[in-house]
Amino acid sequence: MSRGRRLAVTGLGAAVAAAALNAVVAALARAAGVDLEVTGGEAIPVSGIAFVTVVFSVLGLLIAAALSRWSDSPVQWWLRTTVVLTAVSLVPPFLAAADAATAATLVTLHLLAAAVVVPTVARTLRTPA
């Protein structure tokens, strides 16, 4: 199997796994009393959390595919890029006028998704073509 195909299959699997994990954690947080409401009092649905996790994971896969194709050191660039993007993703929960529990939950969800997707894609990028 080519590196691109392996990256797509493995990356999409990681995206789905991250989305499922985030959906479970969001549902548990909601059951524990976290309202997951942001600006305007609108609650983020668990399905929305899963969907956004998949969308941003796929965007990450596109970055990984580009790095794999055009970089001499795709793993190093992947790790640098994802560390920066993950750090940037931790800011909006605090800007969304959410209460502390919601902000903490959203930050946790971002970190969980990164913990699933980033190393999985890095391992795939390390695998010879």
Q: What is the pLDDT of residues 68-98, one digit of tens each?
A: 999 999 999 999 999 999 999 999 998 887 7
Give the model's pLDDT for residue 101. 94
Q: How does the average pLDDT of the chain come out, rounded?
A: 94
Q: Where are the alpha helices (DSSP H) in the chain?
A: 3-31, 46-70, 74-89, 92-95, 100-126
Write the pLDDT tens digit of every residue in 15-49.
999 999 999 999 999 999 999 998 877 899 999 99
Residues of 65-84 as b/e, b for ≥16 C-beta within 10 angstroms?
bebbeeeeebbebbbebbee
